[in-house]
Amino acid sequence: MNPELQGRVFAPTAPYLVGREKIREFARAVFATSPVNLDPEAARSAGYADVVAPPTFPVVIQESTLAQLLAEPDGGIDFTRVVHGNQRFSYTRPIVAGDELTATLAVTDIKTLGGHSMVTAESTIADATGAHVVTAISTLVVRGDE
Amino acid sequence: MIAEIGEIVAEKTYTLTRDSLVRYAGASGDFNPIHYRDDVAQSVGLPGVLAHGMLTMGFAIQPVADWIGDSGKILDYQVKFTRPVPVDAADGASVTVVAKVGALTDAEVRIDLTVTFSDQTVLGKAQALVSLA
């Protein structure tokens, strides 16, 4: 992996419009049973504009930023050797259906440990007004030559 | 709702099948074939198809969401992926989540999750910060 990736900030992704049915599909896939994730009426009674995305939903948006990282011509990251090490989501507010979200990726840390490299990729996700919604932080482990 | 540090607030066992993995692949957009093809998984030295780490992270928080009744109150959620979860084609895999109060202030509660498959933990430092506001 190219150590010069550290500190690199990528172009924001194209806006992602969060659909109600996408949230419900994702909620079912992670065994969510909470009415605020599935039922617009329940979400409205809890004070939300529409159904609330489960806590790990930003992974859907983060996916496109990680694709940017793996496609970086001078990145030197071999996708077949990548293992997910850590994941974190830090929220300012929950995602709800109707949000239009943009993610900006920054590589905040690169470490080499033994033969392996670890890259920390931080995707800052903002709404259409530019306000922060959630930051998704992934640490990827790139296994060295066996 | 809140009691005290160390209290178990939720506990649940989830049965994953290959269908669960295909459903998660579609919902999340993660179509890495090691999550649905044994031959590909075995070609990279794995015993067989594994659950997506993000699927395990995704359902491990659900007992907490049900306990608080509003997943929008989860302010922060992190895990470390420490061990894979192989999902047998016929028998699936059973994963158990235990959610315990780890720390408590007037404004927030930290829930610590213990997530096990076959009596071994599969996530490390699995913590969620929940708003009490």
Residues 6+ apart with CB under 8 A from B121: B82, B83, B114, B115
Interface pTM, i.e. ipTM: 0.96
pLDDT for res A51: 98
Report in angstroms the alpha-carbon separations of A94 from A143, B76, B80, B110: 34, 10, 22, 18
B21 part of a folded domain: no
B29 and chain A: CB distance < 8 Å anywhere? yes
CB contact under 8 A, A59 and B54: yes
Residues of chain B contacting residue A34, judged by C-beta atoms under 8 Å apart = 62, 65-66, 69-71
Whole-number pLDDT of residue A99: 98
Task: Give domain status of residue B125, yes or no.
Answer: yes
H-assigned helices in B15-113: 18-28, 38-43, 53-60, 62-68
Q: Which pTM value belongs to this model?
A: 0.96
Residue B133 has pLDDT above 90, yes or no: no
- Whether B66 is in a domain gets the answer yes
Structural fold of domain A3-18+56-142 = Thiol Ester Dehydrase; Chain A (3.10.129)
Contacts of A89 in chain B (CB under 8 A): 76-78
- Output DSSP code: residue B73: G
**pLDDT tens for each residue of A37-96:** 999 999 999 999 999 999 999 999 998 898 899 888 888 887 778 889 999 999 999 999
Residue B41 lies in a domain: no
A37 backbone φψ class: left, alpha, beta (φ>0; ψ -120 to 50): alpha
Percent of chain A past pLDDT 70, that is, above it, reads 99
Examine residue B44 and state whether it is found in any structural domain, yes or no. no
Of A6-10, A142-146, B83-87, the one with minimum mean pLDDT is: A142-146
Chain A partners within 8 Å of B62 (Cβ): 30-34, 54
CA atoms within 13 A on the CB side of B6: 0
Does any domain span residue B28? no
- Structural domain includes residue B87: yes
Domain count, chain B: 1
Residue pair B39/B21 in contact by the 8 Å Cβ criterion: no
- pLDDT-derived band at A2 (thresholds 50, 70, 90) equals confident
Contact, A99 vs A18, CB < 8 A? Answer: yes
Residue B120 located in a structural domain: yes
Taking an 8 Å cut-off on Cβ atoms, the answer to whether A29 and B58 are in contact is: yes
Domain that holds residue B105: 8-16+52-131
Give the mean pLDDT of chain B.
95
- Interface check for B36 against chain A (CB to CB < 8 A): the answer is no
CATH of the domain at B118: 3.10.129.10
Q: What is the pLDDT of residue B69?
A: 93
